[in-house]
Amino acid sequence: MVPNKRLADKVSIVTGAASGIGRATALLFAGQGSKVAVADVDEVGAAAAVREAGAHDSALAVRLDVSAESSWTNCIETVVARWGRLDVLVNCAGVAVATPVETTSLEEWRRVHAVNLDGVFLGTRAGIRAMRGRGGCIINIASLSGIEVFPGAAAYASSKAAVIQFSKVAAAECAHSANGVRITVIAPGGVKTPMWKTTRLWQDFADGGEEAAWRKLDPQNCFYEPEEIAECVLETC
Ligand SMILES: NC(=O)c1ccc[n+]([C@@H]2O[C@H](COP(=O)([O-])OP(=O)(O)OC[C@H]3O[C@@H](n4cnc5c(N)ncnc54)[C@H](O)[C@@H]3O)[C@@H](O)[C@H]2O)c1
């Protein structure tokens, strides 16, 4: 169990925080004493997460499209204007599609990479710029599908494999330049979120459906709750 108020006086941004892993992370961070920007394209969901976070002035809904450069500028400026700095950035926003290579359109391929990969690049760059000198940490959420082979999700897997390698290079650059910014990448197995429920990812991979597929490929034979991944994110801060 994580000790209380581990993020006291910290300022965080969690992207994709209107739902699933991002939402669980934002709520955990707020409970651990952080000021949290709940950043998402889903403004209704972000506002609901802020209400759930509860404590006065500890959470703020920010409309963010992670694939748009100008949206990142607005998000960072909003957070710094409100709370004076940025200490922790969790790049969690993501989308999944479940189509075989043969029937994946170029438009769909680009949309998945725009959110999952461009979004992590733009966020990491904005985070490094905001944290340079003061220090901080950036946690990028990839996926086990960026490592293992799940037939039927090539665009998603490609974007997540790229996030893993991108994050390693960015981490090495930060370590080399001693700018005080630490970058981590987490690649969860299957997690019980709306993303998992609304897509038909990997349905043919194992008898018993997606849960069986995830359990089969997960090194610990697990199918996770979003709160478990949120605790893992907190541990890396
Ligand atoms: N659910 C899983 O099994 C699983 C496993 C491994 C990794 N992941 C990764 O975890 C992250 C969170 O996924 P989740 O399962 O919580 O999904 P989710 O669908 O519950 O949440 C994703 C959130 O991202 C937001 N989002 C989508 N496009 C956006 C954009 N352009 N800008 C800002 N926000 C945007 C959505 O509005 C949503 O709130 C994703 O990166 C996903 O790929 C999920």
190 falls within a domain: yes
pTM equals 0.95
What spacing in Å lies between the alpha carbon of 61 and ligand 1's midpoint?
17
**What integer pLDDT is reported at residue 54 of this predicted model?**
81
CA separation (Å) from 162 to 7, 130, 214? 29, 23, 20
Q: Kindly state if the Cβ of 22 falls inside 6 Å of ligand 1.
A: yes
**What integer pLDDT is reported at residue 206 of this predicted model?**
55
Domain count of the chain?
1
Q: What is the CATH number of the domain that holds 53?
A: 3.40.50.720
Q: Would you call 224 a catalytic residue per the annotation? A: no
pLDDT truncated to tens, each residue of the chain (237 aa)? Answer: 445 689 999 999 999 999 999 999 999 999 999 999 999 999 999 999 999 998 667 999 999 999 999 999 999 999 999 999 999 999 999 999 888 899 999 999 999 999 999 999 999 999 999 999 899 999 999 999 899 887 778 999 999 999 999 999 999 999 999 999 999 999 998 898 888 766 665 555 556 666 777 777 777 788 899 999 999 999 999
200 falls within a domain: yes
Pocket test for ligand 1, best of 27, 97, 195 (most atoms within 8 A of CB): 195
**What integer pLDDT is reported at residue 225 of this predicted model?**
93
58 falls within a domain: yes
Q: Kindly state if the Cβ of 155 falls inside 6 Å of ligand 1.
A: no
2 falls within a domain: no
Q: Kindly state if the Cβ of 98 falls inside 6 Å of ligand 1.
A: no
**What integer pLDDT is reported at residue 200 of this predicted model?**
61
What spacing in Å lies between the alpha carbon of 178 and ligand 1's midpoint?
31
CA–CA distance, 76 with 73 (Å, rounded to integer):
5
**What integer pLDDT is reported at residue 201 of this predicted model?**
56
What spacing in Å lies between the alpha carbon of 106 and ligand 1's midpoint?
21
Of 29, 156, 166, 205, the catalytic one is: 156
**What integer pLDDT is reported at residue 90 of this predicted model?**
98
**What integer pLDDT is reported at residue 203 of this predicted model?**
56
Q: Kindly state if the Cβ of 196 falls inside 6 Å of ligand 1.
A: yes
Q: Which range of residues forms the domain containing residue 17?
A: 11-236
Q: Which residue owns the Cα nearest ligand 1 atom 2? A: 191
Q: Which residue owns the Cα nearest ligand 1 atom 41? A: 94
1 falls within a domain: no
5 falls within a domain: no
Which sign, positive or negative, has the C-alpha torsion 94, 177, 126, 133? positive
